[in-house]
Amino acid sequence: MTIQVTRSFEASPERVFDAWLDPQKAGQWLFATPSGQMVRVEIDARVGGSFVFTDRRDGEDVDHVGEYLEIDRARRLVFHFRVPKFSAQNTRVSIDIVPEGSGCHLTLTHDDVLPEYASGSQAGWTGILNKLAEFLKEPLY
């Protein structure tokens, strides 16, 4: 299963990219909630490095933790993350940035890699979301 979101920014690819890895900037928007308070942002911005974002929501700390898998400045960033409070499942996020005029265009791809599935076949998640609705309306048999 894959979720994809795209967005255009007026800011340069470098500024948009750096906003993901600069703790001071990332803490303002990534994993932050309007009513929550970001109380901790630790980012080890290297491949294999980890991160922790702690958002305090109604007095309760919610951690977002993960590791960086690919860092190609201003072009591509890939990381794993999980929210231990809700699930032990790691999900994978890829960000691809291409220049667009004086700004840039960002494509975010969120793949869910389930433990028993990670080493297995390639068939699977892609398209399930879009197919769920059709599937119930149009049985194959």
Partner 1 sequence: MNNLDHILIALADPTRRAILQRLSAGEARVTELAHPFAISLNSVSKHIRMLERAHLVHRRRAGREHLLSLNAAPLDHAAAWMESQRLLWNSRLNALDAMLKTEDKKKKGRSR
Number of CB atoms found within 10 A of residue 110's CB: 15
Does 25 participate in binding partner 1 (rule CB under 8 A)? yes
The minimum distance between CB 53 and partner 1, in angstroms, equals: 11
CA distances from 72 to 13, 17, 41 (A): 12, 9, 21
Specify whether the CB–CB gap between 37 and 53 falls below 8 A: no
Specify whether the CB–CB gap between 38 and 28 falls below 8 A: yes
- Give the interface size with partner 1 as a residue count (CB under 8 A): 38
Q: Which of residues 26-85 bind partner 1 (CB under 8 A)?
A: 28-32
At 15, is the secondary structure helix, strand, or coil? helix
- Phi and psi at 137, nearest 5°, equal -85, -35
Among 45, 80, 108, 111, binds partner 1 (CB under 8 A): 108
Does 122 participate in binding partner 1 (rule CB under 8 A)? no
Does 126 participate in binding partner 1 (rule CB under 8 A)? no
The minimum distance between CB 42 and partner 1, in angstroms, equals: 19
Nearer to partner 1, 37 or 87 (CB): 87
Specify whether the CB–CB gap between 13 and 99 falls below 8 A: yes
What does the binding site for partner 1 look like in residue numbers (CB under 8 A)? 1, 3, 5, 7, 9-11, 15-16, 19, 25, 28-32, 87, 89, 106, 108, 110, 112, 114, 116-117, 121, 123-125, 128-129, 132-133, 135-136, 139-141
